[in-house]
Amino acid sequence: MTNTKMTNTVADRFLALQDDICRQLELADGGGKFSEDNWLRPEGGGGRSRVLQGNTIEKGGVMFSAVHGPLPEITAKAMQLPPTDFFATGVSIVLHPHSPMAPIIHMNVRYFETGSGRWWFGGGIDLTPHYVVPEDARFFHQQLKNTCDRFHPDFYAQFKQQADDYFFLKHRNETRGVGGIFYDYLDEKTGLSRDQLFGFAIAVGETFAPAYTELLRRAEPRTWGDRERDWQMIRRGRYVEFNLVWDRGTKFGLETNGRTESILMSMPPTANWLYNYQPEPDSPEAETQGWLRKGVEFSEK
């Protein structure tokens, strides 16, 4: 049996986090309002899906779920777990802005518990600019480092490396964007208690909206036209490739009979694939392509 008191506590706090993030994003969008629908999973649990199609954000979702039941065999095998019941709850976000000069962003915080009592936290935030602005990337990474450093001196360096490794399109030999942090299976082996790691998960979630709304503010005066929009469509295509080929969360959601509309919310409204496209040498597009590699340091030491 799972720890009902703990699972309810985490799920309730994640619901409040969803509310707070949606409020901040509506203010930053300048007119758009989230639509909401609630759903139930036949095997147990459900979620609250919120989608924004606004003035600044072309398509974005802030999704909450809390699901439970028998863990599918294929998922248990991938997690190296015996047959078990499970409980999983989390908030997952992907935002696709109208402007090519503003970045795509993803965030996820989650809690997982098995019927045998094993538990862990996972999550992270990563940034996918259509055009890399080094100052913006440094700002973003510094916010993540500040949050990590409040809980453990090694978290940022470890989780940045894990983000570089995870958000990587192996078939393209390029990172999805400028990285961020990614972590999974955080439990008492970190030296922190479950309550402390819960606090870290909430802190990561609370870092998201202030950091992203500042990036939107910085992008607002940057002009763009058809060329930049065309490049945005190509970069969105890369985002789709990652989410459908490599993303573990997408696979988990589909394997556990999650709600398809919510799982595929991360897809952009439009994207493009051009055969054998190569950016012009010394162009802004080529410059951005040059940033898409592992191991780039953006934060202060």
Question: Is the torsion defined by CA of 197, 203, 208, 211 positive or negative?
Answer: negative
User: Of 149, 145, 179, whose CA–CA distance to 165 is shortest?
Assistant: 179
Distances (CA, A) of 71 to 78, 155, 253, 290: 11, 29, 12, 42
Strand 174-175 and strand 168-169: the pairing is: antiparallel
Distances (CA, A) of 64 to 40, 61, 114, 227, 263: 12, 10, 19, 36, 11
Residues forming the active site: 106
Beta carbons within 8 Å of 121's beta carbon, 6+ residues apart? 109, 110, 111, 112, 183, 186, 187, 197, 198, 200, 201
Return the DSSP state at 279.
P
Distances (CA, A) of 1 to 74, 83, 103: 21, 13, 42
* ∠ CA 174-179-184, rounded to 5°: 110
Return d(Cα 59, Cα 81) in angstroms, integer: 36
Return d(Cα 16, Cα 159) in angstroms, integer: 25
Give the count of alpha carbons within 13 A of 231, CB side only: 23
What tokens does 128 get?
A: 């996918």
| DSSP class per residue in 201-239 | HHHHHHHHHHHHHHHHHHHTT----HHHHHHHHHHHHHH
The two counts, helices (H) then strands (E), for the chain are 9, 9
